C-alpha cells in the first residue's frame, strides 16, 4: 500500500499522530464541489453531512433560537438534540448532522421559529 495518503491534497505523516481526521482515516474522497451558505460559496466533499461541511469550514453555528436569538449548531452529533436545524434548498428544520450535502445545495441559517410542521 502506498505510504502517501491524500486528504484535500495534503500529504500525510504515517508515523505517530495524524494532523487531521481525514489523514488518520486515509480518506480519499471524490473531488470537492461547491455549496452556498447564506449565499456564500463554500467547498464540500461528497459523503459529508451538512454539519461536517460547515465544521470543516470552521462554522459552528447556523441557527438562532426562537426566544433569545442565540446561535446554535451541532450539539449531540447523532440526530437527537435538534440544535443543528438548518434550511436546505428552502426546506427548513433539517438536521444538519444527518443530512448529506449535494453539489449546489443552498444552505440557509435558520432564525427563530423552526418548528414548522414537526408533529412532536
Partner 1 sequence: MVTESYDLVVVGAGPAGLAGAGAAGQLGLRVALLDMAERIGGQFYRQPAAALGATRPQALHHDWDAFVALRGRLAAGRVEHLGRHHVWAVERDGDGGRGGPGERPGGRRGDGEWVVHAVVGEDGGEGGEGGGEGRRAVRVRARAVLLATGAYERQLPFPGWTLPGVVGAGGAQAMLKGGLVRPGKRVVVAGSGPLLLAVASSLASAGVEVPAVIEASGYLGYARHPRALAANPRKLAEGLTHGAALLRHRIPLRTRSAVTEAYGSERVEAVTVSRLDARWRPVPGSGRRIACDALAVGHGLVPGIELATTLGCATRSTADNTLALRLSSTQETSVRGIWAAGEVGGVAGAQLACAEGELAALAIAARLTKPGPYAGPDPRRPSGLDPGRPARVGQLLSRRARLRAFAEAMAAAHAPGPGWTDWLSDDTEVCRCEEVTAGRIRAAVTDEGARDARTVKLFTRAGMGWCQGRMCGAAVSCLAGDGQPPAQRRPLAVPVTLGALAAEGPGCGQEPSRSQT
State the cell numbers at 21.
481526521
Q: Is 18 in the site for partner 1 (CB under 8 A)?
A: yes
Pick one of partner 1, ligand FES, none as the site partner of residue 36 (Cβ within 5 to 8 A by kind).
Answer: none
Give the range of 15-23, 35-43, 59-67, 69-77 binding ligand FES by CB under 6 A. 69-77
Separation CA 73–CA 82 (nearest Å) = 9
Closer to ligand FES by Cβ: residue 44 or 84 = 84
Q: Is 54 in the site for ligand FES (CB under 6 A)?
A: no
Q: Is 9 in the site for partner 1 (CB under 8 A)?
A: no
* Number of Cβ within a 10 Å radius of residue 119: 3
What character string, x for contact with partner 1 (CB under 8 A) and - otherwise, covers 23-62? xxxxxxxx--------------xxxxx-xx--xx---xx-
Q: What's the Rg (C-alpha) of the chain?
A: 16
Strand bridging mode 33-37 / 106-108: parallel
State the cell numbers at 113.
421559529
Amino acid at each position: 500500500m502506498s505510504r502517501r495518503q491524500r486528504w484535500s491534497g495534503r500529504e500525510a505523516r504515517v508515523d505517530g499522530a495524524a494532523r487531521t481526521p481525514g489523514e488518520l482515516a486515509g480518506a480519499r474522497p471524490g473531488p470537492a464541489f461547491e455549496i452556498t451558505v447564506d449565499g456564500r460559496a463554500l467547498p464540500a466533499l461528497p459523503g459529508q453531512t451538512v454539519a461536517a461541511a460547515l465544521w470543516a469550514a470552521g462554522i459552528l453555528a447556523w441557527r438562532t433560537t426562537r426566544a433569545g436569538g442565540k446561535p446554535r449548531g451541532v450539539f449531540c452529533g447523532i440526530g437527537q438534540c435538534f440544535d443543528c436545524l438548518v434550511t436546505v434548498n428552502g426546506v427548513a428544520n433539517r438536521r444538519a448532522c444527518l443530512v448529506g450535502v449535494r453539489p449546489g445545495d443552498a444552505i440557509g441559517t435558520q432564525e427563530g421559529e423552526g418548528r414548522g410542521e414537526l408533529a412532536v
